[in-house]
């Protein structure tokens, strides 16, 4: 009787060993549909008991199913049961892929590794022969044992079990043993016919190769490193492949601009938006123009550009010149003018987007609404996306990222610290009850930089100056003739310097600041600036030609003409970029602090002055504090107009936040104090006059003027001196000399009353307590005391101005000089004083100027492609930071910080106006005016100011990050004295995708054999490095990827067994190696470390679409919530069937999954045309018909292990 083997009562895995335990079994033949390499471990026991005949294998395995069931069915229905040669080749390739893919499933273990190595060794030993049956698909399952006995020479097992773990043991099957001699003989004959089919293919060697390529054998570290790099660079590579640069722009753009534009276009399409954060001077404007053209060419639509007022003309010219159709608006202009735009705007560019770091601004709300209405893709341009808080970045991202949409990544460090339950509670306290942990809203709760780096890796493109030099620059020779301003730039490759016709060699002698140039017939000296050459990755060398010696730079390989040097000429070895076939220099920046002797400004910053400013009440900025709610109406009552204005003001909640405005204005006084004496004096005189006007009104029983504060915090810092006040024309007689010759307060009051300015409210004096008058009088006494102590200000005694005058007349008498100050009053004073001292062609410009761009062009016509007669050009331009953003001013190469900005980012922006692509000077000089005590005195003053503000719990104005602590002091000191701005040179600031792309392309060019090897690596492979000094300890990096291509990394330490998420940028630094890096022995627990990472911090499946933002879904969710809120009873059912349960199911889908493309065309008009209940019913029907969101099943599943790298620091 045959035995039924169903993996229930009897297991095939037990029956085969029992049979082969017989000493006379010499071979097993197996014919199966599928073969599982990892399931091989269960078959080794019966195979070990086989005693083979000489020269014969222990196992012959025939695999019959080589195609997917769907393709089999399709072929059968088409009547194609037999296969031709072409189809057999396809099946063979599919089988290889199928077997290779098996090795990438799950997590590797030591047992699996041993199984694969055992299988490979058995194949090499000749124990197995494996063939693929290619004549036709065959689903047979047959196992035959061959015995030496002649009475029962064979035993067969026929049924449904494949040679897999499931078939042998894991799942229910139906098999029977066949022992009848005739029956087994027929089975043997059947097997032999198929085994000997000449259409079969022996795949024994293929299996050896697949196992060799798999994770069962550790790989070379450099190849695994390149595999990680390849996956991290995918967004740029895909952008380059799918977006071709238009020819007119291709000739203009630099390589880094082309890849950035292609990358940005791809990111906008995939994730809704991108931040281009290149440091100043690298051409973000052209990147944006190119990306907009790419989107316009492929998607159609128009482009909206939002920018500061002074950049409107530039953007309009660029859009017209390069064929980008659309509209350019100022930030303030978006509040009222967006509704007037017609047509579809598919792309929105926001230049200097850091101005939108506060989401309460009116322009922010208008722009965000416009983006949602047009389903626009967004490009934000800013060199400084982060100022003081992570919310700066979050608010910019929130322009196009749905706060509650899954992003596919979580704030891992935050979760490690507080746990998932606490994070959920914190979200709920913000009334985000349905918000998951992989959202922007969750990231807002994190203060961990690594969390934000991981988030910004998804959206940021950022390249630094050092990156440009290392990745895209070429060595050049810059020749500067002594008697000309032009510079000759030559490729350095192949160039030879000769003296009197004989080659000269460089020989560096030990010397502190000089290098000697030895030649057979002449001595030339090469001076090296006192700085670290390695900071920019280049040496800086200057040859000074000796009289009477003929020095020539010979032609290079390109056939360029020789250049003969004259005495006084300089030759410099530098870096350059190829722009439109022309070499352009990357200038070297030199920073210097210029100290001036003590002068009248010493009294301005005295301890007594600080004390007086600290004790000012500033009551005009906190009138609500003095409001007397119980005061009756005055005799005769209010006029209707006064009553309406008083009630409007009293009921406005913004007037209750006066403490913030008091602190803001106190800080403003401190800032102006450190800028210049006249700026501080003018501020005090304005405060004094405005206080006197209020006192006049209080004493005469007249309505008190009060300015509108609703938009005051949007005013640029140079204009915030007039917060709450709209009568600047009453103060034109304020001179800033400290002579107290102010207008009569009664006349000034009447003038304000007469101009009928709608932004001024008129409040009854009876509304306020007596204390208001007392505090106004007290402040006036202190202000008068400060002004008298400072005395009359005379520019001829201003030592700081003296130092600047010497700079522009003696040090750089014939060169353009750009002078920056934070305040318009300072710029006007400096420009006026320089003119009075005889300096020609001096102008000032500030935010109140009608056209700052025109002044920029007059100063720097060449860089702005303008023709301005020399007589109309500006030589010395004194500007506020209105020109520190976006302007091309590289006709000059000298920048002066007349005062140090209080925000760190301003230093970067100021230098970036001249240190840009297209700068023709080999040197950019940044000069900072410093008091006698140098930078230490500046820092000491600011520390005292910070301490006073902290003691009084005042709020810093503008939310800026100020110099003062140790880290900021180090930055300032280095900028002023050391020659390089560290915020520009941090390699870690480069976005990870750009870094990875350049690593990959460099490797392709230099080591093509290694990149080919890396591309051939299957998933799950690993390698091990020995890295001395690696501070993480022994452990492993695990790299996983979800189905949408989101990369995630974790590091697991061997000693602790703890796995923690790390950023891709950290991975590139940690894993980096080179072709000569030796392979190290694998860690004993490597696979366990990978398992810990995958089942720990990397277990969370990513969202359906990485970073995909969908304002349309946000609006649909809001409409459905409105529908739910309108329901009177839970479980309601509308006439159209929009029930509560169905509506919540739609809400859940919209929260988690993106809309289908066809759904967008239905949902968008539905929001405008349907009622709330009809809209809900429509979406419910679309969900029921699977027409609403992408199928979740297509986007879920555990992440795939890409590779891993072990580290042994010993």
Both structure tokens of 624: 């609500």
Give the separation between CA 282 and CA 985, rounded to whole angstroms: 13
Q: Is residue 416 scored above 80 in pLDDT?
A: yes
Counting residues of the chain whose pLDDT is more than 90, the rounded percentage is 27
pLDDT tens column, 754-795: 887 777 888 888 888 899 999 999 999 999 999 999 888 989
Q: What is the pLDDT of residue 155?
A: 86
Average pLDDT over residues 216-239: 92
Average pLDDT over residues 1009-1033: 88
CATH at residue 287:
3.40.50.10810
Give the separation between CA 217 and CA 1021, rounded to whole angstroms: 8
- Asked whether residue 336 falls in the same domain as residue 397, the answer is yes
Q: What is the pLDDT of residue 511?
A: 27
- Asked whether residue 685 falls in the same domain as residue 724, the answer is yes
pLDDT tens column, 119-144: 899 999 999 999 988 888 788 888 89
| Across 636-645, 712-721, 1201-1210, least confident range | 712-721
| Across 431-445, 649-663, 1047-1061, 1151-1165, least confident range | 649-663
- Asked whether residue 243 falls in the same domain as residue 326, the answer is yes
Greater model confidence, 367 or 721: 367
CATH at residue 172:
3.30.870.10
| Across 117-126, 254-263, 730-739, 813-822, least confident range | 730-739
Q: What is the pLDDT of residue 555?
A: 52
- Asked whether residue 122 falls in the same domain as residue 192, the answer is yes
Q: Is residue 238 scored above 60 in pLDDT?
A: yes
Q: Is residue 956 scored above 90 in pLDDT?
A: no
Residue finishing a domain among 581, 609, 641: 581
Residues 6+ apart with CB under 8 A from 980: 531, 535, 536, 589, 591, 974
| Across 88-92, 99-103, 390-394, least confident range | 88-92
DSSP 166: I
Greater model confidence, 652 or 996: 996
Q: Is residue 1049 scored above 70 in pLDDT?
A: yes
- Asked whether residue 29 falls in the same domain as residue 160, the answer is yes
Average pLDDT over residues 601-625: 85
Q: What is the pLDDT of residue 709?
A: 35
Q: Is residue 239 scored above 90 in pLDDT?
A: no
Residue finishing a domain among 420, 443, 465: 465
Q: What is the pLDDT of residue 561?
A: 61
Q: What is the pLDDT of residue 103?
A: 79
pLDDT tens column, 837-887: 999 999 999 988 888 888 999 999 998 888 999 999 999 999 998 898 878
Q: Is residue 892 scored above 90 in pLDDT?
A: yes
E strand or H helix at 723, and its extent?
none
Give the separation between CA 1157 and CA 145, rounded to whole angstroms: 58
What backbone phi and psi angles, to 5 degrees, belong to 1175?
-65, -45
595 lies in some domain? no
Q: What is the pLDDT of residue 711?
A: 29
1127 lies in some domain? yes
Average pLDDT over residues 550-556: 55
Q: What is the pLDDT of residue 843?
A: 95
Q: What is the pLDDT of residue 521?
A: 34
pTM: 0.69
Q: Is residue 1003 scored above 80 in pLDDT?
A: yes
Give the separation between CA 1174 and CA 887, rounded to whole angstroms: 51
817 lies in some domain? yes
- Asked whether residue 1089 falls in the same domain as residue 1172, the answer is no
CB atoms near residue 1008 (< 10 Å)? 10
683 lies in some domain? yes
Q: Is residue 981 scored above 50 in pLDDT?
A: no
Q: What is the pLDDT of residue 491?
A: 56
- Asked whether residue 799 falls in the same domain as residue 933, the answer is yes
Average pLDDT over residues 980-1007: 73
Classified as helix, coil or strand, 80 is: coil
Q: What is the pLDDT of residue 941?
A: 60
Q: Is residue 683 scored above 80 in pLDDT?
A: yes
Q: Is residue 278 scored above 80 in pLDDT?
A: yes
Vertex 384, ends 1064 and 399: CA angle to 5°?
Answer: 80
Residue finishing a domain among 150, 178, 213: 213
Band (pLDDT 50/70/90 cuts) for residue 539 is very low
588 lies in some domain? no
CB atoms near residue 26 (< 10 Å)? 17
Q: What is the pLDDT of residue 659?
A: 54
Radius of gyration of the chain (CA): 38
List the one residue out of 405, 398, 372 whose CA is nearest residue 1164: 372
List the one residue out of 899, 971, 895 whose CA is nearest residue 930: 899
Give the separation between CA 459 and CA 424, rounded to whole angstroms: 25
Give the separation between CA 578 and CA 582, rounded to whole angstroms: 5
List the one residue out of 150, 143, 148, 151 whose CA is nearest residue 190: 143
Give the separation between CA 601 and CA 851, rounded to whole angstroms: 32
Q: What is the pLDDT of residue 1007?
A: 94
Band (pLDDT 50/70/90 cuts) for residue 441 is very high
Q: Is residue 483 scored above 60 in pLDDT?
A: no
563-589 b/e with 16+ CB inside 10 Å = b?
A: bebeeebbbbbbbbbebeeebbbbbbb
| The pairing of beta strand 474-480 with beta strand 201-202 | unpaired
- Asked whether residue 1070 falls in the same domain as residue 1032, the answer is yes
- Asked whether residue 565 falls in the same domain as residue 618, the answer is no
Greater model confidence, 726 or 654: 654
Both structure tokens of 921: 């000077």
Greater model confidence, 496 or 25: 25
Q: Is residue 1129 scored above 70 in pLDDT?
A: no
Domain count for the chain: 7
Measured between its terminal Cα atoms, the distance across the chain in Å is 65
Contact predicate 1120/1146, CB 8 Å: yes
Average pLDDT over residues 1118-1124: 83
| The pairing of beta strand 273-276 with beta strand 377-381 | parallel
Contact predicate 306/879, CB 8 Å: no
List the one residue out of 410, 131, 503 whose CA is nearest residue 1042: 410
List the one residue out of 1148, 1143, 1145 whose CA is nearest residue 1175: 1143
For the chain, give the mean pLDDT. Answer: 78
1073 lies in some domain? yes
Band (pLDDT 50/70/90 cuts) for residue 1107 is very low
> Judging by beta carbons within 10 Å of its beta carbon (0-12, 13-18, 19+), is residue 710 exposed, middle or buried?
exposed
Band (pLDDT 50/70/90 cuts) for residue 304 is very high
Q: What is the pLDDT of residue 740?
A: 57
Calculate the CA 1208 to chain-centre distance.
Answer: 32
CB atoms near residue 301 (< 10 Å)? 19
Average pLDDT over residues 1121-1133: 63
770-790 and 677-700 helices cross at what angle (nearest 10)?
A: 150
List the one residue out of 1019, 1035, 1029, 1037 whose CA is nearest residue 1205: 1037
Torsion angle of the four alpha carbons 327, 888, 385, 979, in this order, in degrees rounded to the nearest 10: 180
| The pairing of beta strand 842-845 with beta strand 142-147 | unpaired
637 lies in some domain? yes
Average pLDDT over residues 300-306: 92
Contact predicate 1033/500, CB 8 Å: no
- Asked whether residue 369 falls in the same domain as residue 256, the answer is yes
Average pLDDT over residues 373-386: 88
Q: Is residue 545 scored above 70 in pLDDT?
A: no
Q: What is the pLDDT of residue 756?
A: 77
| The pairing of beta strand 302-307 with beta strand 345-351 | parallel
Q: What is the pLDDT of residue 1075?
A: 95
Greater model confidence, 1014 or 531: 1014
- Asked whether residue 866 falls in the same domain as residue 766, the answer is no
Band (pLDDT 50/70/90 cuts) for residue 1154 is confident
Q: What is the pLDDT of residue 853?
A: 85
Give the separation between CA 1137 and CA 94, rounded to whole angstroms: 49
Greater model confidence, 546 or 1172: 1172
- Asked whether residue 934 falls in the same domain as residue 832, the answer is yes
Band (pLDDT 50/70/90 cuts) for residue 554 is low
> Judging by beta carbons within 10 Å of its beta carbon (0-12, 13-18, 19+), is residue 1198 exposed, middle or buried?
middle
Both structure tokens of 1053: 């330490």
Q: What is the pLDDT of residue 780?
A: 95
Both structure tokens of 560: 């360029």
Q: What is the pLDDT of residue 282?
A: 80
900 lies in some domain? yes
Q: What is the pLDDT of residue 732?
A: 43
Average pLDDT over residues 1160-1175: 82
Greater model confidence, 804 or 708: 804
Q: 19-23, 560-564, 759-763, 814-818 — which one is most confidently predicted on average?
A: 814-818
Q: Is residue 803 scored above 60 in pLDDT?
A: yes
Q: Which domain holds residue 392?
A: 239-465
């Amino acid at each position: 009787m045959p035995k039924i083997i169903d993996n229930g009562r009897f297991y095939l895995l037990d029956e085969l060993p029992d049979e082969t335990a017989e000493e006379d079994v010499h071979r097993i033949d197996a014919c199966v549909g599928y073969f599982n390499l990892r399931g091989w471990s269960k078959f080794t026991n019966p195979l070990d008991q086989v005693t083979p005949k000489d020269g014969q294998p222990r196992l012959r395995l025939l695999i019959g199913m080589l195609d997917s069931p769907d393709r089999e069915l399709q072929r059968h229905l088409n009547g194609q049961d037999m296969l031709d040669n072409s189809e057999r080749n396809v099946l063979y390739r599919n089988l290889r892929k199928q077997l290779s893919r098996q090795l990438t499933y799950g997590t590797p273990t030591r047992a699996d590794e041993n199984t694969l190595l055992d299988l490979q060794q058995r194949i090499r030993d000749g124990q197995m022969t494996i063939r693929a049956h290619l004549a036709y698909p065959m689903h047979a399952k047959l196992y035959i044992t061959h015995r030496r006995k002649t009475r029962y020479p064979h035993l067969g097992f026929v049924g449904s079990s494949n040679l897999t773990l499931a078939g042998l043991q894991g799942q229910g099957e139906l098999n029977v043993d066949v022992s009848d001699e005739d029956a087994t003989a027929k089975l043997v004959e059947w097997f032999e016919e198929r085994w000997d089919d000449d259409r079969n293919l022996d795949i024994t060697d293929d299996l050896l190769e697949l196992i060799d390529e798999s994770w069962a054998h550790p790989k070379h570290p450099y190849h695994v490193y390149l595999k990680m790099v390849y996956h991290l660079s995918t967004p740029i590579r895909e952008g380059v492949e799918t977006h071709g640069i238009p020819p007119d722009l291709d000739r203009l753009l630099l390589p880094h601009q082309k890849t950035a534009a292609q990358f940005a276009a791809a990111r906008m399409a995939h994730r809704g938006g991108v931040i281009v954060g290149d440091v100043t001077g690298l051409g973000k404007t052209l990147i944006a123009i190119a990306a907009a053209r790419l989107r316009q060419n492929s998607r159609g639509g128009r482009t909206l550009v939002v920018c500061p007022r002074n950049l409107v003309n530039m953007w309009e010219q660029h859009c017209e010149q390069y064929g980008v159709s659309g509209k350019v608006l100022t930030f303030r202009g978006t509040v009222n003018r967006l509704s007037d735009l017609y047509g579809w705007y598919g792309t929105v560019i926001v230049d200097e987007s850091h101005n939108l770091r506060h989401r309460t601004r009116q322009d922010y709300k208008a722009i965000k609404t416009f983006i949602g209405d047009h389903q626009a893709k967004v490009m934000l341009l800013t060199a400084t996306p982060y100022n003081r808080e992570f919310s700066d970045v979050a608010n910019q991202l929130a322009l196009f990222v749905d706060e509650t949409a899954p992003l596919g990544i979580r704030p891992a460090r935050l979760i490690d610290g507080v746990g998932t339950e606490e994070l959920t509670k914190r979200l709920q306290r913000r009334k985000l009850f349905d918000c998951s942990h992989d959202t922007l809203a969750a990231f807002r709760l994190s203060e961990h930089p690594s969390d934000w780096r991981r988030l910004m890796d998804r959206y940021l493109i950022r390249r630094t100056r050092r990156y440009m030099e290392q990745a895209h620059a070429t060595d050049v020779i810059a020749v500067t003739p002594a008697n000309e301003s032009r510079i000759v730039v030559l490729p350095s490759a192949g160039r030879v310097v000769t003296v009197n016709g004989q080659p000269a060699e460089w020989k560096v002698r030990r010397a502190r600041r000089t290098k000697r140039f030895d030649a057979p017939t002449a001595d030339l000296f090469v001076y090296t600036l006192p700085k670290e050459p390695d900071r920019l990755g280049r040496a800086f060398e200057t040859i000074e030609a000796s009289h009477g010696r003929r020095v020539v730079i010979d032609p290079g390989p390109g056939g360029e003409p020789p250049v003969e040097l004259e005495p006084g000429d300089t030759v410099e070895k530098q870096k350059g970029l190829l722009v439109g076939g022309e070499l352009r220099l990357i200038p070297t920046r030199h920073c210097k602090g210029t100290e001036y002797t003590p002068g009248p400004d010493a009294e301005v910053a005295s301890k007594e002055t600080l004390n007086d400013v600290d004790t000012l009440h500033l009551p005009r900025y906190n009138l609500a504090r003095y409001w007397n709610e119980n005061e009756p109406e005055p005799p005769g009552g209010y006029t209707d107009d006064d009553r309406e204005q008083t009630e409007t003001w009293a009921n406005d909640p913004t007037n209750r936040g006066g403490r913030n405005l008091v602190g803001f204005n106190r800080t403003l006084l401190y800032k102006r104090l450190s800028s210049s004496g006249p700026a501080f004096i003018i501020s005090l005189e304005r405060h004094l006059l405005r206080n006197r006007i209020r006192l006049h009104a209080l004493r005469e029983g007249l309505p008190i003027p009060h300015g509108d504060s609703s938009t005051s915090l949007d005013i640029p810092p140079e204009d915030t001196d007039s917060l709450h006040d709209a009568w600047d024309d009453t103060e034109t007689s304020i001179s800033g000399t400290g002579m107290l010759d102010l207008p009569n307060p009664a006349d000034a009051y009447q003038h304000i009353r007469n101009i009928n300015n709608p932004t001024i409210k008129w409040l009854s004096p009876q509304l306020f307590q007596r204390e208001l008058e007392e505090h106004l009088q007290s402040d006036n006494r202190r202000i008068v005391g400060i002004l008298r102590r400072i005395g009359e200000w005379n520019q001829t005694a201003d030592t700081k101005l003296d130092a600047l005058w010497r700079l522009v007349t003696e040090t750089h008498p014939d060169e353009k000089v750009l002078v920056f100050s934070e305040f318009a009053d300072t710029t006007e004073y400096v420009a006026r004083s320089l003119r009075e001292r005889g300096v020609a062609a001096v102008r000032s410009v500030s935010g109140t100027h009608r056209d700052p761009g025109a002044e920029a062009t007059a100063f720097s016509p060449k860089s702005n492609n303008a023709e301005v007669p020399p007589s109309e050009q500006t030589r010395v331009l004194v500007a506020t930071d209105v020109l520190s953003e976006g302007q091309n001013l590289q006709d000059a190469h000298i920048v002066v910080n007349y005062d140090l900005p209080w925000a760190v980012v301003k230093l970067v922006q100021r230098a970036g106006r001249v240190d840009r692509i297209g700068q023709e000077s080999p040197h950019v000089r940044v000069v900072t005016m410093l008091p006698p005590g140098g930078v230490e005195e500046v820092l000491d003053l600011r520390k005292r100011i910070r301490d006073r503000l902290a003691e009084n719990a005042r709020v810093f104005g503008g939310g800026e990050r100020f110099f003062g602590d140790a880290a900021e002091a180090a930055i300032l000191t280095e900028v002023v004295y050391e020659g390089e701005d560290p915020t520009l040179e941090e390699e870690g600031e480069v976005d990870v995708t750009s870094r990875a792309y350049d690593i990959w392309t460099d490797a392709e060019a230099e080591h093509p054999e290694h990149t080919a090897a890396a591309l051939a690596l299957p998933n799950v492979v690993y390698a091990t490095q020995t890295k001395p000094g690696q501070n993480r300890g022994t452990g492993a990096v695990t790299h996983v990827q979800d189905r949408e291509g989101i990369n995630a990394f974790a590091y697991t330490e061997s000693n602790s067994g703890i796995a923690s998420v790390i950023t891709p940028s950290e991975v590139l630094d940690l894993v980096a190696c080179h072709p000569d890096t030796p392979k190290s022995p694998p860690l004993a627990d490597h696979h366990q470390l990978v398992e810990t990472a995958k089942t720990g911090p990397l277990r969370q499946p990513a969202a359906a679409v990485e970073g995909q933002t969908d304002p349309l879904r946000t609006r649909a969710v809001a409409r459905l919530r409105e529908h739910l809120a309108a329901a009177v009873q839970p479980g309601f059912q509308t006439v159209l069937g929009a029930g509560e349960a169905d509506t919540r199911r739609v809400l859940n889908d919209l929260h988690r999954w993106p809309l289908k493309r066809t759904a967008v065309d239905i949902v968008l008009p539905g929001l405008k045309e349907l009622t709330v209940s009809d809209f809900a019913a429509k979406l419910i029907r679309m969900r029921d018909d699977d027409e609403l969101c992408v199928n979740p099943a297509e986007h879920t599943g555990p992440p795939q292990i890409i590779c891993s790298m072990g580290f042994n620091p010993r």
